[in-house]
A and B are shown apart, each in its own frame.
Chain A
């Protein structure tokens, strides 16, 4: 299923063959140069740096030293992503299908919180989750948490914060794919299936999967590389890959291992993305 890029009909004017074939390259030149020097070369340097001192053993060390943290990172990101689908899909569906004239307002409401600095809003969660704060108070009162139980420094706190911080990245793409669905399809469907639920599962859901796919990546990828949430809301038992890199990134002795760790993170994510694309059948990915 295509969702953007060059897929679909070519709009008017797309793809003029220039009289001078250097024109596009001149336009691309400065931007490409920037990306080449400050994105491609650094990745190459990172790869090279990961093989300094110890070569491939740096990689096996990464897994033996940080196996638990790597696993935890991906579990956190995965759970946060799944929860984001569960929370975000109905919201996106509501905005696209039911919100009527409040559509734009609701969309703005989804985006607006993200104009408050990332660190500030994460600190606000900390305020909410303190031992003598409202959330813990409520949970203790309802008995969901023991008298000495706490929320900060738990897996739930970090996953919840990741979920919170990247939820709009889930809602917006799903919204777009739902919004694009031809309403006539949905109107015709009841005549054929005579059942709202079947309409949803047979028509709406499949057509919105590209949005779920995009949203999942936009939630999963930044979650994997984050250290702010784990640092602010988690403790020693909640560290993620990002925290390890953040703690050691400048120590010269550790740089090869940290480079290897970054590389592993990157490769695992790319692998995961490809696998996911395969499952959902998005051929445009490659």
Chain B
């Protein structure tokens, strides 16, 4: 079947005489092949001494469009001489982990020295032995971790992980685009907003919202309640309620003003405020979801540069300004003291002790698998 050839003849004809200068003109301007190329084939995974390669979520540093210009990173480079290769590699926990699962199982490096999966996923990485233990003596600032996150069941002495951030999942919306205000999850899932809202592909956020709406705290939820929540999500989806179900990519259409209302992470909303002055943030009346992303050193990562980066982040004078800028809660004791009064008073960064924020309990493997499967069936297929 040589049908396609014709078309190529035509193209070839058009392109004929294009001159061989093209190749020369295109080539070799890149005088500084980045670290990415060196590690691309997995060869130099842990041998590089002078760079820390970070896999990050979007909106997690002051200027993630141009990480080297972000104050936190620039100061780190100045201070330690360690270069930073910062990639927005994480869109959601499951897809990020899946991408490197094969390499991790084979005991190979994944080309990152630091990653930031959410705590539940970090616990899986640790259980599977996919992380390097922290060189604890190189992270003296570790003592600054706030008490409530100091010893989770899956890493009681925090010898393999430390929280990076504290996240609130709430609702972001444009009053004029949905002709009204939103105060609750019920409002968000109101058929009136059919096709205008987005939800997250993170099970704990989306199922958590549904549980809260059902009046169940995620920390107390039983398996059948979680499955019921998945079923409710499926019904909503079949009715066309959701415009999209995405990872962190939801922020793009929200930033462009196309999404009317979105289940959103607190910091993202602040991140796009310049583009979207009309965008509002609300913690729903049923409550919001509280979670924490976690710093780990993936197997094969450079433990020394990673430790330097983690230790640096645990300096309250670094953490304060950074988290004020990105609008997330800092897990570092005393960070608030390095914030401006406005930052200190911002409930998204420093919520009141009695704020309606609910975290998940640790799920058993069986629960995790069952809910995951139900959630994927309800939202991804």
Q: List A residues at the B interface (Cβ < 8 Å).
A: 3-5, 65-66, 69, 104, 107-108, 111, 126, 130-132, 152-153, 169, 172-173, 175-177, 210-211, 213-215, 217-218, 235-237, 244, 247-248, 250-254, 282, 284-285
Contact = CB atoms under 8 A, between A and B. Distances in A.
Interface of B: 1-7, 9-11, 14, 94-95, 98-99, 101, 195, 237, 240, 242-245, 256-258, 373, 376-377, 380-381
Contact of B4 (A108, A217, A248, A254): A217
Given A131-B257, A217-B4, A248-B376, 20 more contacts: A3-B3, A3-B6, A107-B10, A107-B14, A111-B14, A131-B258, A153-B195, A169-B7, A172-B11, A173-B3, A173-B10, A176-B7, A176-B10, A210-B3, A214-B6, A235-B243, A236-B242, A236-B243, A247-B380, A250-B99
A150 to B, nearest CB: 8
27 contacts: A3-B6, A65-B381, A107-B10, A108-B14, A130-B258, A169-B7, A172-B11, A173-B3, A173-B10, A176-B6, A211-B6, A213-B3, A214-B7, A215-B7, A217-B3, A218-B7, A235-B242, A235-B244, A236-B243, A236-B245, A237-B195, A244-B380, A250-B95, A251-B94, A282-B3, A284-B1, A285-B1
B90 to A, nearest CB: 13
B98 A251 contact: yes
Across the A-B interface, give the 5 residue pairs with the lowest CB-CB distance, nearest first: A250-B98, A214-B3, A5-B2, A176-B6, A172-B7
Contacts of A152: 258
B7 A173 contact: yes
Contacts of A172: 6-7, 10-11
Nearest to B201: A247
B237 A236 contact: yes
Contacts of B1: 5, 284-285
A15 to B, nearest CB: 16
Nearest to A249: B98
Given A153-B195, A250-B101, A251-B98, A244 B381 contact: yes
A111 B243 CA distance: 34
A175 B10 contact: yes
Contacts of B98: 250-252
